[in-house]
Structure 1
Amino acid sequence: MLDFLFSTIDDRVIDFETLKLHEKPNQYLVLPEGEFLAEPHRISPVLNVSITELKKRFSDIAQHQKKVKVLRISDDGLQVDYVQRTPFMGYPDTITVRFYRRGEDTSTLAIYSRSSYGYSDLGTNKKRVTLWLDSLKAALNDSKKQP
């Protein structure tokens, strides 16, 4: 029922190159090194994996989190918007991910996680992005260990 009350989400299409962060601390931005207007909270890693494999692994991780749904996938398939609702109150947070090819077998990503409600998120967006990136690195390391 609370999902209905808190139905407004940030569903704008994000352009990472021109994105400007707002003044509220209820957001967390990870960007690869490059030409971006916003100052990221963290620089994203360049991973030794194809962009196709990165998209697959990241999607698996994101969609296996609690209360996560895909909101939109860009026409080129390189940008995905997710909505994750908080456990008790059901507040919607929007997470936008864009994948970047860095070479034939290297890639990276940008992640912008933000809350639709409130001023502070008590670190929820940072924790989410950190968890998802740590899970991604672990999944990629596990796949390298398998014969």
Structure 2
Amino acid sequence: MIIAIAAVLVAVAIGVGIRLGVVKAKDDPAVWHVDPLTSANPKTPNWHRVVPADSTVDRHPDRDAHPPTFTASASQLGAAFDAVAMGDERVAVVAGSAAEGHVTYVQRSKLMQFPDYVSVRFVDLPDGGSTLAVFSRARYGQKDFDVNKKRVERWLDATQKRLA
């Protein structure tokens, strides 16, 4: 019985230590504020990216998709996307801004506060309208249960509705 209680206490202490380490880890813009149009593929499989067809990224068949186009300008698209992103839970800006056309957000998981970084670039199209590039990736781990893909799809869907 004492061994079981000790094991539980050790497990709790380890969990608390991991959570404190995750929460105190700095969101370094030099590392996480990247251009989704040119960013390299992470070595871990816990990411999702949406980039226009003419992007120079090394496309991954399961983790890269094409973005929608919008009739709004890139600045209008940026404002709408930013409102959606900042309206989600546990989201903060790491660097840049939608008004500048390039922004990186961090969204932390509810329980353990694991950070995911979402870099976005808003692009005016030559014939009018706009599009965007979004690169969402986890800082820790290997598996994200499609959290990054679902976030990108949710934010894009909400942005399209906001601009409709």
TM-score scaled to structure 2, two decimals?
0.77
SS in structure 1 at match of 2:110: coil
Question: Structure 1 residue aligned with 2:39, among 7, 19, 22?
Answer: 19
Structure in which a larger fraction of residues adopt strand: 1
Structure 2: state its 5+ residue gaps.
1-15
* 17 and 95 in structure 1: CA distance in 2 versus 1, 3 angstrom threshold: closer
Residue aligning to 1:145 = none
For residue 92 of structure 2, the aligned residue among 69, 73, 81 is 69
CA-CA distance at 1:24 after TM superposition: 1.8
User: Could you tell me which amino acid in structure 1 is paired with residue 36 of structure 2?
Assistant: F
Q: Does 1:43 align with 2:89?
A: no
- Runs (4+) of structure 1 exceeding 6 A deviation are none
Q: Percent identity?
A: 31
Q: Give the unaligned 5+ runs of structure 1.
A: 142-147
Superposition RMSD on alpha carbons, in Å? Answer: 2.2
1:94/1:114 contact within 8 Å kept: yes
- Give the structure 2 partner of residue 137 of structure 1: 160
Distance 2:47 2:34 in 1: 14
What's the counterpart of residue 53 of structure 2?
33
Q: Give the greater-gyration-radius structure (CA).
A: 2
Structure 1 window deviating more from structure 2 (9-18 vs 119-128): it is: 9-18
Amino acid at match of 1:53: Q
Work out whether residues 10 and 116 of structure 1, in 8 Å CA contact, stay in contact via their aligned partners in 2: no
Number of residue-to-residue matches in the alignment = 141
Structure-1 residue corresponding to 2:101: 78
Distance across 2 between alignment mates of 1:69 and 1:15: 18
Match of 2:8 in 1: none
Aligned to 1:96: 119
Q: CA 1:45/1:30 → structure 2, altered by over 3 Å: closer, same or farther?
A: same
